[in-house]
Structure 1
Amino acid sequence: MPIMTFPEAGIPPALQTQVAELRDEAWPPDSAAAPDTFAHDPALRPVSMLLVDGATVLAALDILTKPIVHAGRQYQAAGLSTVVTRAAARGQGHGHRLVTAAHEAMAAMDLDIGLFTCDRPLQPFYEGAGWHHLPGTVLIGGTPTAPFPSDRPGFDKVTMADFFSPSARLHHSSFSHSRIELYPGEIDKLW
């Protein structure tokens, strides 16, 4: 089964329809967990990765990128967003394969760090795909004037990361037990 990669705006319409259906299945539009929108801010250069079996999308995710400043240093950061597997295909390793491929793709990009949050029960899943838990770390999303921290009441998130560049690896300890100003904007409040 191939993994297909597209700029988000370049996903063929038939595949985009299936991705939208998968997201609605995972986050029903009328539920409190549903995001305001699944469209990402183009400034974050969204790239979509799809695991496809024939003409069927089994799993999908997006990679978002932006520069960040942390502990006085600038880093090129990317994170995973809207990771989803078709309900009927869960438990077969499709999500693991796609998240592992995304980790490998990000390591091959001109990035310093991969960084994102996930629900606490999903931590072992992401660790199995090459990501590492950053204990005590909070991502601050939103904007500087309207922050959206990952430790807000009602959230049970953990921060996952990997350090790709020599500079990021050298300074990796500054990311644990810290508050990282991600600030992806109003559309993608937190990736």
Structure 2
Amino acid sequence: MVLMQYSREHPDAQMAAQILALEETAWPSDGENAPFPSAPETYVTSFVLLDEGRAICHVGIRNSSLSHKGQTYLAYGLSEVVTHPQYQNQGLGSKMLKVARQFILDHRPDISVFTCAPERVSFYTRGGWQAVPGACFVGGTAKKPFRSDTLGLITMMMFCSAKAKQHKSAFENTDIVFSLGENQLW
């Protein structure tokens, strides 16, 4: 198996197609051709695990600034975390999560934030993030907000900087609003 990094600076149409095919195993599309990456303005990079040249595990990394309760934060998040069904329960996702976490920490964000299904909370908690009580990640746009709570998703966070740790309670029981583009959520 080979770990590769896919960056927005060096796009590869063949690898993008493989990542989209892998994502299709978790989130089947309605037949429309989705671009990769979606919302390129927040896309930073992806880590892709290949087995015999085939994408079997992927984690995307996004970033954006966040203004929240009088403070501005540099936020990094995970997106499109997926392992091909034939390769699940082998620890590959955990290994990829460690790589992504280190990449994020190396970029010195204030916070790392994203959403996940309730059954994935323990996986991400083992990776260093925590579920934030009552937090709702709101993506989308001002005119078309895309709320994590309406999808039954849990907001996961890692507080990285001293400022973020000092204001940790400001993220509980509140909306965390990003302008990410229509139908976009991390």
Q: Answer yes or no: same fold by TM over 0.5.
A: yes
Alignment of 1:184 with 2:171, yes or no, is no
Alignment of 1:45 with 2:22, yes or no, is no
Cα pair distance change 1:74/1:93, threshold 3 Å: same
Alignment of 1:158 with 2:154, yes or no, is yes
After TM superposition, give the deviation of residue 35 of structure 1 in Å. Answer: 10
- SS of the equivalent of 1:136 reads coil
What does residue 93 of structure 1 align with? 91
The correspondence for 1:60, drawn from 58, 61, 67, is 58
Check whether the contact 2:50–2:56 (CA below 8 A) recurs between aligned residues: yes
After TM superposition, give the deviation of residue 9 of structure 1 in Å. Answer: 5.9
Check whether the contact 2:111–2:159 (CA below 8 A) recurs between aligned residues: yes
Cα pair distance change 1:131/1:173, threshold 3 Å: same
Cα pair distance change 1:57/1:36, threshold 3 Å: closer
Check whether the contact 1:2–1:51 (CA below 8 A) recurs between aligned residues: yes
Identity among equivalent pairs (%): 32
- SS of the equivalent of 1:46 reads strand
After TM superposition, give the deviation of residue 30 of structure 1 in Å. Answer: 3.2
Q: TM-score, structure 2 length as denominator?
A: 0.90
Check whether the contact 2:112–2:159 (CA below 8 A) recurs between aligned residues: yes
Matches within 5 A, 1:135-150: 135-150=133-148
* Aligned counterparts of 2:28 and 2:139: Cα–Cα separation in 1: 23
| Aligned AA (1:91) | N
Alignment of 1:111 with 2:109, yes or no, is yes
What does residue 27 of structure 2 align with? 27
What does residue 121 of structure 1 align with? 119
Check whether the contact 1:40–1:46 (CA below 8 A) recurs between aligned residues: no
- SS of the equivalent of 1:88 reads helix
Cα pair distance change 1:111/1:9, threshold 3 Å: same
The Cα offsets for residues 144-167 of structure 1, whole Å up to 9 and x where unpaired, read as 122111112xx2111101011111
Q: TM-score, structure 1 length as denominator?
A: 0.88
* Aligned counterparts of 1:77 and 1:45: Cα–Cα separation in 2: 12
* Aligned counterparts of 1:12 and 1:41: Cα–Cα separation in 2: 17
Structure 2, gaps ≥5 residues long: none
After TM superposition, give the deviation of residue 54 of structure 1 in Å. Answer: 4.4
Check whether the contact 2:16–2:36 (CA below 8 A) recurs between aligned residues: no
| Aligned AA (2:12) | P
After TM superposition, give the deviation of residue 118 of structure 1 in Å. Answer: 0.4
| Aligned AA (2:159) | F
| Aligned AA (1:116) | F
